[in-house]
Structure formats: C-alpha cells, structure tokens
Amino acid sequence: MTHRIVQLTDCHLFSDPAKTLRDIATWPRFTEVLEKVRRQVPDVDQLVLTGDTAHDEDLATYDAVRKELADWEGRVRIIPGNHDNRAALRTVFPDASCGPIDLVTFQVSWDDWQIIGLDSQQPGELPGSLGEEQLTWLRNLLQSAPERHTLLFLHHPPITVQSPWLDRIRLLDSTDLERLVSDHPQVVLIGCGHVHQEVVGSLGRATVLTTPSVGHPFRPRTEHIEIDSVGPAYRLWELFPDGRWSTQVMYCMSPVMK
C-alpha cells in the first residue's frame, strides 16, 4: 500500500486573520494551500505541520487552525517550531502528540513504514535542539522496528542551506542525530521546515528535504533575510511498500499577497 503524506510548514498565523508579517497576509496563503490540498490529495493519509504554525503563540490561533483542518480530523500531526507555544499545541491538538513529557512529538506506524515527528524547539531561542532524552526515545523507537522504513519530521534542518543567517539557527545537535541515523539504516528520509525554501541534502545515508513556507518565503542563498515573491507551497510525500519514495513541492499560483 502506498502512503501519502502532505507536509505544511511555517504558516506563521495570527489570531487576527487580517494581521500581516513582513507586510504579508499569512491567513489567505494558508487557506489557499488547504484548498489546493483538498483538490489534489483528497485521499491523504496524514497531514503533518512541521512548526511555526502560529506566530503569536496565541491559543485562539491554534483553535482557528484546528477548525480549518476539520476535513482531516484524526489524520493531523503537528510539531512545534521556534515560534510555537508547546502548551497551546498540547491543549488544542491533544490527539496529535505522544512521546516524552513536555515535548510535542508523534509516531505513526504502518506495516512497512513509520513516520516520527520530533520536537526541536528551544523555548525563547531561534536555533533548535533535540536533547538527550528525545534522542533516546527516538533510538528506542528505531530499535523496536528495524524492518520499518522511516521518515523523520522536525522543524530545524540538521544540514546547512548556504544562507549564513539561517545556518546559524539550524539544529545545534545535528551531529548527535547524524550518529543515530547512521546506526539505523531504516531512516530513509528527514523532512524539515524553518528555512522557508526548498533545499535537498543528506545526513548519513538519509535524504534531507526542507519544504517552502506557507507564510512568507525566503530567497535562497542570501547573507541576510530577503523575502521571495513565490506563492505558498506544500510538499507531497509518497511512500511505497518496498522502501522507494517520491516527493514533490506543490506551489500555489498566487505570488506574495500583501
């Protein structure tokens, strides 16, 4: 059976839908992406949000997001980014989290694949870290299912993206994650957000892919922050029973909406 996953990331929403970030209205971009997902991937198995869903950390923002995601009730998984509020996420999405106490993580298993969501947030900080407790939890999951191909999701990429200002705020303990991934060859893929652009790299033998933002997009390979003019996007992942996979970034046609 082929498993289809939609990844949304870096929506940067507010409780006030008219509010803008860097002169960009993020709510219209979010609803536009959801409409496209409804048309293009009606049979999606999981809808995964990989961080910075809210920008204002307001409980009301997460409540509004949950209402917008009602079509996918029971299939939504969510992890925090550096702008999110863990307590609010746990309150509004109690059925989308498992794992270590005080973190927001998830694990979904099928016969041939599993997807695992990791919490890389350091409250009050821009860079990310997984920490020893979470890495131990991940190691135990991987050791208990060596036969399952694995896709990891986390907000902060464990690779450089050739933008110095972003590379300074990536995953700080990427070496520890790389060591763990290298010890568990069933980890095939790692999907990230945070950098608001599409980048491909590797960590050990795993392919790492970042996904463009739903909210304000960043221009690639810049010394300092520059806003791009591309439309919002999501990533579609297709996982096949024999371990093969395919993925595609799906852009909406609308440019930056101010």
pLDDT reported for residue 258 = 41
pLDDT reported for residue 170 = 97
pLDDT reported for residue 255 = 55
Average pLDDT for consecutive 10-residue bins of the chain (258 residues)? Answer: 96 96 94 96 96 96 97 95 95 82 92 96 96 96 96 98 96 98 97 98 97 96 94 97 96 63
Structural domains of the chain, ranges and CATH numbers in brackets: 3-251 (3.60.21.10)
Strand pairing partners for 245? Answer: 239
Residue 181, C-beta contacts closer than 8 angstroms, at least 6 positions apart: 152, 187, 190, 203, 204, 205, 206
Distance CA 49, CA 234 (A): 10
pLDDT reported for residue 254 = 61
Tell me how far the alpha carbon of residue 11 is from its chain's centroid: 10
Residue entry with tokens 């997001």: 65
The token pair at 133 is: 């407790």
pLDDT reported for residue 257 = 45
Distance CA 63, CA 1 (A): 33
